[in-house]
Structure 1
Amino acid sequence: MASSHPAGNTAEKSLPPLTAGPHRSRLGLISIVACFGGLLFGYDTGVINGALNPMTEELGLTPLTEGVVTSSLVFAAAIGAIFCGRLSDGWGRRKTIIMLAVLFFLGTLVVVFTPNFEVLVVGRVLLGLAVGGASTVVPVFLAELAPYEIRGSISGRNEAAIVIGQLSAFIINAILGNTLGHLDGVWRIMFAICAIPAICLFFGMLRMPESPRWLVEKGRDAEALEVLKTVRSPERAEAELAQVEKVALEEGQEKQVGFAAILKNKWLLRILLVGIGLGVAQQLTGINSIMYYGQIVLIESGFDSSAALIANIAPGVIAVVGAFIALSYMDKFDRRKTFIIGFTLTTICHLLIGFSSMVLEVGNPLRPWVILFLVVAFVGSMQTFLNVAVWVYLSEVFPLHMRGIGMGVSIFFLWVANGFLSLYFPSLVDGMGITGTFFLFGALNVVALIFVATQIPETRGRTLESLDEGVTTGAIFLPTAKK
């Protein structure tokens, strides 16, 4: 799976090697603080999995309003992604993340103290805007701070934080649901927990630096060098700054910013379509249907409600394990080949789930356990080979002058696909059963596999500046660059 890149990519060769020292620890601290945004993303998307049933009982929700409550966060996340991506280009990555921390906290308060369905949806929309913003800005912030040699593992920490947040939500839901489930409003406690990481993100980011690449783009080169010297050796910091300044100057002369300029440049448009296609393909695996409605799938497979709540922890655990496995190889194996393996495995898992649910009839004692095992295998395949890699890829593939908007647009479509799946997944299971639903996911994954095999250029092992040049000239799309 590992591969070398063309010898013509001299940007990487001209940089002094990475060295150990306090700057490496500083980079690690920055990534941990920023990843509280990913933790909030994960918790706020995962908590609905166990909170929905008691919420429905207290507020008298219908199947339709259940779908609205769940999907309102997801559709709002689409708006948050595109808006905050653009905002971070003008206002800065750091300030935008601080604003998102405030939004997470406010959304939590609205949901916890909601008196009815309408106010609940408002709170979920606020959380969705924050989730979407975090999904766009945090990976970009990490990618722009990380040296290219370890950019995959640094950027990928955000996805690890997301699944840790989801697992935390599943565990807390199971504990609260099985110990305090008899109390009214237990779901409010489930949501209240996420106020804690929102506070940590806010105060933590107040002490973190701005992205050096964003600073260069704004003409604040001296500040950028100061930041780089805190996360690199002095020699490496100066060499990287020179590369960033060169690319920023070239892009500034071309003045290619905004949607209109992207649409007029065939290479920028193509890389944007690649980002959109990859984001949508990731969602069409149905991974978030499991993360949002895992309890429903397990009940449909044969578990009772309490057992399904506990069994639902298993996909969360394997998601975290898969994320850390992905981080361990992210800087060693090519992104594109990783995608191909991932979509192949998820397709197989979908077909096996559909086949098993068809062969093992309802009432068969093996049915729930076999489906649980296959769901866990599916989530493990997604997390090990797709989820981390997709978020890393999107954070690094766009040129500096369109990184915020490119990431925002790609994740906008990712969240829109997520939203429609979350809105209609209960209806799919109700109308087609587990068998038809997962056979449908399998067919969609075959299309996604063809897309990544033919359209995705490679990004691993290259500086962001080298990738900028490759995209703007179209060299990244040449057959030799895809290998």
Structure 2
Amino acid sequence: MTSTSSEGSSTTLPPLVPGPHRKRLGTVALIATFGGLLFGYDTGVINGALLPMTEELGLTSFTEGVVTSSLLFGAAAGAMLGGRISDGWGRRKTIIALAVLFFVGTLTCVFAPSFGVIVVGRVLLGLAVGGASTVVPVFLAELAPYEIRGSLSGRNELMIVIGQLAAFVVNAVIGNVLGHLDGVWRIMLAICALPAIALFVGMLRVPESPRWLASQGRNEEALAVLRTIRSDERAEAELTDIRLTAEAERSQERIGWRSIFSSKWLIRIVLVGVGIGVFQQLTGINSIMYYGQTVLIESGFEAQAALIANIAPGVIAVVGGVIALWMMEKINRRTTLLIGYSLTTICHFLIGIASVALPAGNPARPYVILFLVVAFVGSMQTFLNIATWVLLSEIFPMHMRALGMGIAVFMLWIANAFLSLYFPSVVDAVGITGTFFGFGVIGIFAVLFVYTQVPESRGRTLEEVEEGVTTGSIYTISKRRARLARTE
């Protein structure tokens, strides 16, 4: 069977066929995405836990930012370390280790007696979150058939927003039912231990990535894994492609940082990956997910009402994620990103305009801003978040996939961390109006970046993407220039 993408590349592999191997692939993906669920819960739970934590620990606006962003700085380090460790240990063992780290970090936070200890616990959780954000998408992409790679890899981002929604619901229920108790935020944080245990137990029964095994020369083991998640004919054909690519890379002796600086195209794809990750964060999506209650209080809601209203962005995030998975195999990645950044930029400017047109005290103000925030989150989750993580898991060659993903995600988390650290102070200084107008301006630059720099990967095997990246042929803009040059 020959499959042709919209960009003109093609691959010949036996077709996907139904059978128990398809169910096995779905089960493996579900277990791995518990890492995404933990990612989402740990980043979202602070949204409702921050106010009671502030009251008990006596936090200021700046130390609130420190508590929130400490997880994110830890995640930046975890993204780099996770990628490198998974290259040596394998994807599966690394995810098991991350499950243990999630559990230890959770217990540290739950029993923290002071500001300093809670920061230590949040850093530990950040290391786990960052590692999961790098390793789980790579693991899923390396397991998936290219025909459904986008939707399978995208399940991790869907689990992230499900985790965030779970955090918002748990926060609202516990905050309204047990809000009178001292240390209620500790109960909110403790829930995270349950999916950590599920991830650990589940990954003990999950196979290693066949592409990682092939990269280590363990071809028989790679074939055995592929036969559990593909038909026999498809498994053998895929292993042939994977083995040839792995052998070619080993013969070139290109590893780690040297592989990046050996080629202008590899340098470019790393910079593209960094841009994709950083611009996703500079939409301000995680400022809404972490400080949504603060934004809604600033808009005019009472504290308890804001806690409940904050569930709405979480619900639309999950709905948008489901739609995004459906679109992954139907719409090109570049097109999805361009639509997403255009819509989120419009929402940013509308929120800024609404905060000017509806001054504090206007009864319509909180509801209009809530509606626009929901529209922003819906646009973000439908068109940007899943596409961003899928692209990052696809665009790097196998010999530097975990490293390249680690660099891009490291920069993503650094942007997230600094934005979260200073977001409360920025809102205090310039209000919602200035904050969202600023996000809108950044969104314009994001549209230009995607249009001129981001390559298309839909409809290609990872091996075809790798060939296109290493030769530079994958870049749409480069091919357009080449066609123009030929016509001249």
Bucket of the pairwise TM-score, normalised by the shorter protein: over 0.9
- The Cα of 1:62 is off from its aligned counterpart by 1.8
Distance 1:26 1:275, change over 3 A: same
| Maintained 8 Å contact 1:6/1:481 | no
Deviation digits for residues 133-173 of structure 1 (CA, Å, limit 9, x no counterpart) = 00000000000000000000000000000000000000000
Which residue matches 2:218? 220
Matching of residue 205 in structure 1 with residue 203 in structure 2: yes
Please show how residues 83-482 of structure 1 align to structure 2 within 5 Å. Answer: 83-479=81-477
Task: Report the TM-score when normalising by structure 1.
Answer: 0.98
Q: Deviations over 1:60-119 (max 9, x none)?
A: 212221111110000110000011111111110000000000000000000001111111
Which secondary structure does the structure 2 equivalent of 1:105 belong to? helix
Asked whether the equivalents of residues 68 and 423 of structure 1 are also in contact (C-alpha less than 8 Å), the reply is yes
Distance in 2, matches of 1:17 and 1:246, equals 20
- Residue 70 of structure 2 corresponds to residue 64 of structure 1: no
Query: In 2, distance between residues paired with 1:351 and 1:63?
Result: 26
User: 1:284, 1:444 within 8 Å by CA — same for their partners in 2?
Assistant: yes
User: Once the 2 structures are TM-superposed, how far is the Cα of residue 5 of structure 1 from its aligned partner?
Assistant: 3.7
Partner of 1:51: 49
Would you say the 8 A contact 2:452–2:477 is kept in 1?
Answer: no
- Cα distance in 1 for residues equivalent to 2:228 and 2:217: 19
CA displacement, residues 237-293 of structure 1 (integer Å, 9 cap, x when unaligned): 000000001111111111221113312311111000000001000000000000000
Q: Deviations over 1:346-404 (max 9, x none)?
A: 00000000000001010000000000000000000000000000000000110000000
State the distance in 2 between where 1:322 and 1:381 align.
7
DSSP 3-state at the match of 1:475: coil
Which residue pairs with 2:486 in the alignment? none
Which amino acid in the other structure matches residue 46 of structure 1? G
Per-residue Cα deviation, 1:298-347 (whole angstroms, up to 9, x for no partner):
00000010000000000000000000000011011100010000000000
Letter in 2 for 1:87: I
- Which blocks of at least 5 consecutive residues in structure 2 are unaligned? 482-488
Moved more, 53-62 or 460-469: 53-62
Q: Distance in 2 between matches of 1:249 and 1:423?
A: 45
Give distance in 1, aligned partners of 2:314 and 2:81: 30
How does the TM-score come out when normalised to structure 2? 0.97
Separation in structure 2 between the aligned mates of residue 112 and residue 6 of structure 1, nearest angstrom: 50
Are the equivalent residues in 2 in contact too, given 1:78–1:414 (CA < 8 A)? yes
* Pairing partner for 2:23 from 16, 22, 25: 25
CA distance in 1, matches of 2:297, 2:58: 21
CA spacing shift, 1:134–1:441, aligned 2, 3 Å: same
- List gaps (5 residues or longer) in structure 1: none
- In 1, the alpha carbon distance for the partners of 2:336 and 2:392 equals 14
- Mapped to 2, the partners of 1:318 and 1:351 lie a distance apart of 20
1:178 positional shift: 0.4
Q: Distance in 2 between matches of 1:90 and 1:436?
A: 46
Distance in 1, Cα, partners of 2:447 & 2:367 = 28
Residue 482 to residue 57, structure 1, CA distance change in 2 (3 Å) = farther
Cα distance change of structure 1 residues 113 and 481 upon mapping to structure 2, 3 Å threshold: farther
| Amino acid paired to 1:225 | L
The Cα of 1:481 is off from its aligned counterpart by 5.9
* Residues 7, 456 of structure 2: 8 Å contact kept: no
- Determine if contact 1:458/1:481 at 8 Å carries over to the other structure: no
Does the CA contact (< 8 Å) of 2:456 and 2:476 recur in 1?
no
> Is the partner of 1:259 in helix, strand or coil?
helix
The letter of the residue matching 1:261 is S
What is the letter of the counterpart of residue 229 of structure 1? R
